[in-house]
Structure 1
């Protein structure tokens, strides 16, 4: 049986997350969807219990202040199978811990799959949130991080901004995350088929996307320390060099790399190799494992990678990667 797709939803206060969830819980969309609201214990709660509400349309809403894995297993044991599960990271700026659950928990792998990270954005106020100075030294800008993690971005409240203002918002978002698709909405009304079950975390999906999932034409943000770094390099890689390069990059910068994905071609192999990651955790696959088709005899071999993170040195990352190509000189 196909694993149930799980979407992690994040977004700044007032962005329209609750409105989106209410649409899903009350809409006549014909889908059985479970929504899990993951709260953050404030240290004062001695005993909490889960609340599970069943809606008239068959959807489920529950609040969790504890073990996400346990509640997932509990929901999956219910009589009727869900079409999708949506996890709202209430109070969490960083959805990585929730996303990483699906990388590391073997018991869940056959039952559920991480489908996408969805960020809801308030078009009217997002620039203000992005420009907000850090409250204290070392504090992170939550709005920037939420955009950086996204596979898909719901640009909500577009009816409250002019075309010029909207263009400025889109330009700024693309400067932080050039890889995420932006869907414009009013009152958080979106076609569910565009936000649920989109397989953004599928390794197969990377091979099905447009050859350039890196938007090289996107403006790079200079006002934010979070940006997208794309690599587009022809030729075959030395497996040993590329392995060392990726290991060192994640060792040195893993905490600052929010998202990564790529297609790689290695010397001596006709298989396409793909990876997808959150921080230091990566999942790998190849056409040998059934992930897409191998390189064709006349197909141009191109390595395509994207890293979204903080304080990434675009030139250094590109140069050091290219030193892994067969026949290239070592990086300086």
Structure 2
């Protein structure tokens, strides 16, 4: 799982940027948000008119992931990695969060399955000059630790204004890539490179071919595989309903599925092949794990149903 932090001051446009990113990219995302208040606003905005089949959203509303809830943040990241194991976890810190601290917290839990991508900071070019002096330390931290700086809300300004803010930002961080052109005008290759460079600047060898990262890929002949662990259901009957749905194509073109799980206190083994499936009740306790093979697999939809009774962190799943 690769982690992409998208930082920025309050109102900079982080959520709007993420919406565009999800729309433009084919990669599978989970999104960990840190709301400054207890009201869940950004997740509703994020899923409005976006491709909900490939997004999972966690909200952390009781504290800041960069400071007071370090333990909860680390636990949430590890839970997402172990329970869903998405290709990419997008972390959207609060607008008043120090990017450097968020990076430090993720660095503490990095290992071979979790890697940090080059962080992005969104800068509100329209309000930057009026807010910088008041929140100087915060702005400098978010700019200094970014590897890519995207200037938003300047599509209607002239070239001299864009040049001025670019020069100012380079004075704080001359190593970052700075984009003053509106990101919606950028080609697919620009969006792709955001996921191909780690925090230290090394090029990542993606699990998928780069041309598979975007929609309209022609390389769909190979079967996909989805493996999940630690899932659970409320009842054995629910598993049967889900397997029937799978046969009807409601989770993609699944040609093979098998695994073990606990449902309603029962230990079950299931097997699906072609147009038939079976469910067996087992006496011994099982370790919940399963595999799904097919094409155009709706991964998040499968996870939503198979994690119905999971003990993991509360998740809001948005699926087709």
- State the partner residue of 1:58: 54
Structure-1 residue corresponding to 2:81? 76
Residue 187 of structure 1, CA deviation: 6.4
Q: Tell me the alpha carbon deviations over residues 246-269 of structure 1, each in whole angstroms, 9 at most, x when there is no partner.
A: xxxxxxxxxxxxxxxxxxxxxxxx
- Alignment check: 8 A CA contact 1:12 1:120 kept: yes
| Distance (whole Å) between structure 1 residues aligned to residue 115 and residue 103 of structure 2 | 10
Q: Do the aligned partners of 1:20 and 1:189 also contact (CA within 8 Å) in 2?
A: no
Post-superposition shift, 1:56?
2.5
Secondary structure of 2:151 counterpart: strand
CA distance change for structure 1 residues 28 and 126 in 2, over 3 Å: closer, same or farther? closer
1:34 correspondence with 2:30:
yes
Distance 1:165 1:10, change over 3 A: same
Q: Give how far 1:122 is off.
A: 1.8
- Looking at structure 1, the residues matched to 103 and 95 of structure 2 have their Cα atoms a distance apart, in angstroms, of 15
Match of 1:215 in 2: none
Give CA deviations for 1:195-224 in whole Å, capped at 9, x if unaligned.
Answer: 23322335x46xxxxxxxxxxxxxxxxxxx
Tell me how far apart the structure 2 counterparts of residues 56 and 19 of structure 1 sit (CA, whole Å). Answer: 15
CA contact (8 A) 2:25 2:192 kept: no
Aligned residue for 1:102? 106
> What is the deviation of 1:28?
5.3
Q: Specify the alignment match of 2:177 in structure 1.
A: 181
Aligned to 1:15: 12
Query: 1:61/1:161 Cα in 2 relative to 1: closer, same or farther (>3 Å)?
Result: same
1:97 offset after TM fit, Å?
Answer: 2.3
Structure 1 residues 171 and 114: CA distance shift in structure 2, 3 A: same
2:2 maps to 5
For 1:163 and 1:40, the matched residues in 2 are separated by 34
Equivalent-residue separation in structure 2 for 1:188 and 1:62 (angstroms): 26
User: Which residue of structure 2 lines up, in the alignment, with residue 156 of structure 1?
Assistant: 152
Gaps of 5+ in 2: 62-68, 204-320
1:141–1:98 CA distance, 2 compared to 1 (3 A): closer
Paired with 2:27 and 2:58, the residues of 1 have a C-alpha distance of 17
Structure-2 change in CA distance of 1:62 and 1:24 (3 Å): farther
| Distance change >3 Å, CA 187–CA 151, structure 1 → 2 | closer
- SS of 2:170's equivalent? helix
> In the TM superposition, what are the counterparts of 1:300-319 in structure 2 within 5 Å?
none
Deviation at residue 63 of structure 1 after TM alignment: 0.7
* TM-score, normalised via structure 1 length: 0.49
Structure 1 stretch displaced more, 183-192 or 162-171: 183-192
Gaps of 5+ in 1: 135-139, 206-332
User: Hey, what's the Cα distance between the residues in 2 that align with 1:99 and 1:184?
Assistant: 24
Flag the 1:192–1:20 CA change in 2: closer, same or farther, 3 A: same
2:100–2:141: 8 Å Cα contact kept in structure 1? no
For 1:286-297, what aligned pairs fall within 5 Å after superposition? none
Deviation string for 1:239-294 (max 9, x for gaps)? xxxxxxxxxxxxxxxxxxxxxxxxxxxxxxxxxxxxxxxxxxxxxxxxxxxxxxxx
Displacement of 1:13 in angstroms is 2.0
Shift of 1:172: 0.5
Counterpart CA distance in 2 for 1:185 and 1:194 is 16
Shift of residue 95 of structure 1? Answer: 1.6
Counterparts in 2 of 1:127 and 1:41: CA distance versus 1, 3 Å: closer
Cα distance change of structure 1 residues 5 and 127 upon mapping to structure 2, 3 Å threshold: same
> How far does residue 115 in structure 1 lie from its aligned partner after superposition?
1.0
